[in-house]
Amino acid sequence: MRKSLLALTLLSISVSSTVAFAQQQRSGTPEEQKACTRDVQKFCRPVIDQGDLTILACLKEHRSKISNACDQVLKNNGQ
């Protein structure tokens, strides 16, 4: 019973940390958003209402065309 409770607690902490991290990374800082706003509007307008992960995928798909500033934001965030 004790091991089950410990495992459940660790799992709960892990899931909570993952969710918190994902929420922090979700939209980026205001500076990061500003760096990519034009690229999102130019290349990803059709998917803009489908969420951040879809927009990220779109930016990565158009990587060779996006601005240097937005490309650097992606690189800085491990993309």
Domain-wise residue ranges, the chain: 2-76
Inter-helix orientation angle 30-43/52-61, to 10°: 70
pLDDT (mean) for 34-52:
96
With a pLDDT cut of 70, the percent of the chain lying above it is 67
Q: Model-level pTM greater than 0.75?
A: no
Asked whether residue 20 carries a pLDDT value surpassing 50, the answer given is no
* pLDDT attached to residue 23: 42
Among 4-8, 25-29, 40-44, 62-66, which is the least confidently predicted range? 4-8
Higher pLDDT, 53 or 5: 53
Measured over all CA atoms, what is the biggest interatomic distance in the chain, rounded to whole angstroms?
A: 56
55: nearest Cα among 69, 70, 68 = 70
